[in-house]
Amino acid sequence: MPARARKRDDAEPDGSEHRPAEQAEALAAEGRFAEAIDLLTRANGRVRDPAVEERLVQLRLDAFTATEPRQASTTTADADDPFPGETTPPEVAARDLTPELLRSGIHHHGCLLVRGLVTGARIAELVHDIDRAFAGYDAHAGGASTAETTPWFLPLETASGPILRRWAREGGAILAVDSPRTLFDVIQMFEEAGIRQLATAYLGEPPAMLARKCTLRRVAASRSDPGHAQGSGEVGWHQDGAFMGVDIRTLDVWLALSACGRDAAGLDIVARRLDGIVETGTNGARYDWTVAPDVAERTAAGRIVSPLFEPGDALLFDHLLLHRTGLHPGMVRDRYAIEAWFAASSSYPPDQLPVAY
């Protein structure tokens, strides 16, 4: 453990406040990463410690790297569609969400809209975390040391480089692994929402979280001003499978933390199931892996939809959904969201840096 862990007032009864850290290191040395992560997670839940949060990020990375390759499992679409004739994203309340409904929604309609996946104080906590993470990034970019920006911003060097980080920041995103405290809160939130169990059942095996595809998002309202220069981080229409690959099994949880789609940016989506990657890089596409607006419109066949989200609502989809940030003139509020991609441990894009979840 880093030596900068500080003494806490509520130390263990035997006086050794470092005992959880020591025990976790011993477990990790034996390859028992899941137990080490669980031990430090419980300790940090009692007393928040920047050093513990930083160590947890690395342990999650090490845990996946050390895991034996799994035999690929398979999942199939349900024969029956519980949302027949639906031309907008099918919706369910969080209390009614099941792996079967998720699989049917994605395999028949491209996505599933879950109302109220997260509620209560967690939403306000994560908005606060995102603001602190963005402030930490900006301070670091302005010359502040990581000692000054930790635990809100501490770049994980294996996750990205300064150019890609700046590109993401211009588009209103920061990697969650670059904010150890926020990542801890995000994972705790997903645990409470039952995402681990849902993703495991949907994918057919335990999921890995993709470090380069788990982002904290704060899209400024000023970007909807027609006179505002489009930032390089805005990509337009795309399917994530265009750069992650198609022979993978994934689940994306796009979680709104503010009201989105009316006066703050939301998502524009093609509300139908696509079986592969549509044509990319044609005239009008921003990058060679993005889709030109006219191609998106032809593919949509009249089914481009911009759902309205309330704080805590989530859109669940995979790497084949054609979508873009729904940023339109007249939007006057900033949009807060978290996007977290999970992949089957036996079928994942390795360049996206899978970490144990």
Residue 18 confidence (pLDDT) above 80: no
What CA–CA distances, in Å, run from 46 to 9, 20, 188, 327?
12, 12, 13, 40
| Whether residue 167 is found in the same domain as residue 54 | no
Q: Which domain holds residue 131?
A: 91-356
The Cα 71–Cα 301 span in angstroms is 39
Residue 98 confidence (pLDDT) above 70: yes
Place of tokens 């990205």: 160
| Whether residue 122 is found in the same domain as residue 267 | yes
pTM assigned to the model? 0.90
| Whether residue 52 is found in the same domain as residue 188 | no
Nearest to 59 by CA among 32, 20, 22, 23: 32
Q: Is 242 helix (H, G, I), strand (E, B) or coil?
A: helix
pLDDT of residue 220: 86
For the chain, the domain total comes to 2
Residue 75 confidence (pLDDT) above 70: no
Q: Is 78 helix (H, G, I), strand (E, B) or coil?
A: coil
| Whether residue 224 is found in the same domain as residue 301 | yes
Place of tokens 């198609």: 246
DSSP per position, 133-159: HHHHHHHHHTT--HHHHTTT----TTT
Residue 13 confidence (pLDDT) above 50: no
- Summarize the confidence of residues 143-165 as an average pLDDT: 94
Structure tokens at 34: 């899941």
